[in-house]
Structure 1
Amino acid sequence: MPKEKYMSKKILVVSTDFGTEKDELVVPVDKLRELGHEVTVVTPNGKPVQTVVGDKDWDLEFPVDGDLASHLNNDYDVLLLPGGTVNADNARLDDDVLAVLKKQAGAGRTVAAICHAPWTLIDAGLARDKNLTSYISVRIDLENAGANWHDVPVQVCDTAGWKLITSRNPGDLAPFIEAIDQA
């Protein structure tokens, strides 16, 4: 039986310019583009992303398609937040990142976040009552914000009228990307 073909999606990947876990940015961008999706990568300041491996070893500098402010008024089917401790910690303090997250959820569209990225949902006021997963160290923060945390490779939640797709770490990238593709 042939695999059902899903419609191409417009996907916005939002990262800060430093501290993003390389595989959580590069692998989804490459795979989603291979699947035929239109993927746009932005940072708040438009600078390339300095990726890291294991949150400590610098790796490649990943090019972006512009700054986040230039994309705030565009509509995307999926908003994807890659992880990395430093990236996620800085993203949760950025007003434009929080604004685009709130806009995406408020419009009933999909948000995907991996590893430490669900931290950002807390600061955007979007974690409450959501079923999700994340890197284990973020669990207590999410639970304290009213989320229901699950130790699974990928968690999809439609609570509150918008879809949230979360995964724990780079080892979960295959099911994470598949869930985004099928959203």
Structure 2
Amino acid sequence: MGSLQHAKALIIVNNWGIEETEMTRPLDDLRKAGATVTLAAPNADEIATVEHDRHESASYAPDAILDDVDSADYDMLIVPGGTCNVDRLRINPKAISLAQEFAKAKKPIAAICHGPWLLVNAGLTSGKTLTSCRYIAADVENSGGVYRDQELLIDDSQDWRLITSRNPGDLDAFVDAIESTLSD
């Protein structure tokens, strides 16, 4: 993949319960490719990640606080999974409004594993075809989305791109799709 030196991505997470690799792979890979990536959380506390949704993993400092970020400053929104992460993020008014602002501005959104849960609560899945972890498939379908059990789904309907994957095993395809979209 070529340089992404002009690309700006926003990764939003809760301060705890994030599936570590679903956050760090896009964060690290995009930065290595030259993109500017901001990791934002609800507060300035360390971001405590987990492995397989239950084992404590590393902690990271956020670059910004959710309330201080503006969707106009970024080219793409990325939502990592982790059950507890997205369970809290999906009821956070700022996280919901950020997702809605990206879609309204026709900017791409990438969500993996439980990440699409935020999009369900933001009212953005109706009419979209997407994937996620199997645990929220019924939520996707009940929101009007079309669920598919696939490694990667890219839906360009409604004039904005949605990139989704199921779990950490899909990260190669997920990150490749993000990088490809940002380099367009």
User: By the TM > 0.5 criterion, same fold?
Assistant: yes
For residue 181 of structure 1, give the secondary structure of its aligned residue in structure 2: helix
Q: CA deviation at 1:159?
A: 1.1
* Counterparts of 1:137 and 1:17, CA distance in 2: 22
Q: CA deviation at 1:5?
A: 5.9
**Percent identity (aligned):** 37
Letter paired with 1:149: Y
For residue 64 of structure 2, give the secondary structure of its aligned residue in structure 1: coil
Q: CA deviation at 1:63?
A: 1.5
Give the alignment of 1:107-122 within 5 angstroms. 107-122=105-120
Which of the residues 6, 12, 15 maps onto 1:14?
12
Which of the residues 81, 88, 91 maps onto 1:90?
88
- CA distance change for structure 1 residues 122 and 73 in 2, over 3 Å: closer, same or farther? closer
Give the alignment of 1:139-178 within 5 angstroms. 139-178=137-176
* Counterparts of 1:75 and 1:164, CA distance in 2: 19
Q: CA deviation at 1:181?
A: 0.5
* Counterparts of 2:46 and 2:2, CA distance in 1: 35
For residue 142 of structure 1, give the secondary structure of its aligned residue in structure 2: helix
Gaps of 5+ in 1: none
Provide the aligned C-alpha RMSD in A.
1.4
Q: CA deviation at 1:73?
A: 5.4
Which of the residues 129, 135, 138 maps onto 2:133?
135
Q: CA deviation at 1:35?
A: 1.2
Alignment check: 8 A CA contact 1:116 1:138 kept: yes
* Counterparts of 1:92 and 1:35, CA distance in 2: 29
Q: CA deviation at 1:6?
A: 5.9
Q: CA deviation at 1:47?
A: 2.2
Alignment check: 8 A CA contact 2:48 2:57 kept: yes
Aligned length: 181
- CA distance change for structure 1 residues 156 and 181 in 2, over 3 Å: closer, same or farther? same
Q: CA deviation at 1:8?
A: 3.5
Give the alignment of 1:68-107 within 5 angstroms. 68-72=66-70, 74-107=72-105
Alignment check: 8 A CA contact 2:40 2:63 kept: yes
Q: CA deviation at 1:139?
A: 0.6
Gaps of 5+ in 2: none
* Counterparts of 2:73 and 2:6, CA distance in 1: 14
